Amino acid sequence: MFKFWFDEHHLLALEATDWGYPKDYSICLSWCRILSKDKGILIYNKRQWRIIHLKEISEGMQACYIQEKNIDGLKLNVSMIENAFALFQWFNEETWEKYHYLPFFSKNVEVLEKDLNEFFWLQLKITKEAQWNFVRWVKVSYAFPKELSDILSFVFALIGIYWRIDEKNWEVSAVRVHVPLVWWTHIDEELDEAFKKLSEEYWLFIASQKVQNWGKTIYQFASNDGEILNLYVNWLNSYRKTDYYKLNNYSKKQQEIKDQLIDYIKNEEILDIEWKDEVLKLLDNHVVKFIKCL
C-alpha cells in the first residue's frame, strides 16, 4: 500500500507503508539537511515532473515543499546596512587608527557611495586607495543580528554590497552573493547558523558554501525562494521612486511549474491512489515552494 502525502519534512512524497525498516538517507534542500527513510519523491527536473527514490536525488532537482504560513508584515531594518559595512575592521599598526574596509571589492565605489546616500540616506565615505577600499564614517560596531527582521535586513545588506542578482530587464529570478572571508572574522559560521534558523523556524531557504578562488576564501550564498525574493525586491523598491526590480516572470514560471505538477498528479496512472484529492486541495490553498536540492 502507498501513502501519497506531504511527509514529515513537508515534501510531497509517495511512501510505501509496508517497506519495514528501510535505510535512512540524507539530502540537502538549500541549507536545510534532512534525514529520512527511502521513499518516492516528486521531483521537477528538465522541465518535467517525475517520481524518483529519495536516495537517487541529485543536485539541481527541485522538490515540492508546502508550508502552512508565510512571512507577513515584516518590517526590515535599514540600519543593518551600516552594520554590514562595519563587518571588516582593521587598524594602522603605526597610528593605531581603526578603519573599515571592503576586502577584494572590485565594483565602482563611487556608485556604491552615491546609491547609499540617495536611496538609504546613509552618509558613508568609500574610497579606493592603493588597491584598498576604505569605508569611513561608520558609526556602529559590528554585531551579528538576532531577530528575524534584523537577520534578513543584514542578509539583504550583504546582497547590496557583494551582490549578483540573476535578472534580465530588471526581472529577478535569484540572488547570489560572494562574501570574501578573512581569518579573524566568523561571518561564515554566523550566517550558517542564521540560515539554519531561517529554514527550520521560518521555512525560508538560502543555500551556502565556502569555496577557494585564486588563493582567496569566498563564502557564497544564494536563494531562489519566492518569499526571500519578494521581501528583497519590495525592500529595494521601497527606497526608490519607481519599481526598479520585478518578479513578474519569476511568479509566472513558478505558477507554470505548479500547474504542471497538478496536471501530473491528476493524470499519472501510478498516482491513482488514496488522498490524491486531498493533496490537490492542499496545493490549491497553501504556499508551495520548489526548492533545489544540493
Cα distance between residue 16 and residue 13, in whole Å:
10
- Stretch 97-108: mean pLDDT: 85
For residue 160, what is its C-alpha cell? 547590496
Q: Distance between CA 251 and CA 253 in Å, rounded?
A: 5
Residue that the C-alpha cell 521581501 belongs to: 231
Query: pLDDT at position 75, please?
Result: 87
Place of cell 536525488: 57
Q: For residue range 221-265, what is the model confidence (pLDDT) as tens digits? A: 989 899 999 999 888 888 776 668 889 999 999 999 999 999 999
Question: So what's the pLDDT on residue 269?
Answer: 74
Q: What is the pLDDT of residues 125-144, one digit of tens each?
A: 999 887 789 999 999 999 99
Q: Please report which confidence band the pLDDT of residue 272 belongs to, taking 50, 70 and 90 as the band edges.
A: low
Residue 20 has pLDDT above 60, yes or no: no
Given the C-alpha cell 499519472, which residue does it identify? 268
Mean pLDDT value of segment 263-289: 84
First to last CA, the chain: 30
pLDDT tens, position by position, 169-221: 888 888 889 998 887 778 999 999 999 899 888 889 998 888 887 778 899 99
Burial of 219 from C-beta contacts in 10 A (0-12 / 13-18 / 19+): buried
How do residues 26-69 score in pLDDT, each as one tens digit? 777 776 777 888 888 999 999 999 998 888 888 888 999 998 77
Share of the chain above pLDDT 90, in %: 38
What is the reported pLDDT for 221? 92
User: What does the pLDDT read at residue 241?
Assistant: 65
Residues 6+ apart with CB under 8 A from 236: 156, 160, 244, 245
Instruction: Tell me the pLDDT band of 98, cut-offs 50, 70 and 90.
Output: confident
Task: Look up the pTM and report it.
Answer: 0.87
Radius of gyration over every alpha carbon of the chain, rounded to an integer in angstroms = 22
Q: In 10 A of CB 252, how many CB atoms?
A: 11
DSSP string, 107-132: S-HHHHHHHHHHHH----EEEEETTE
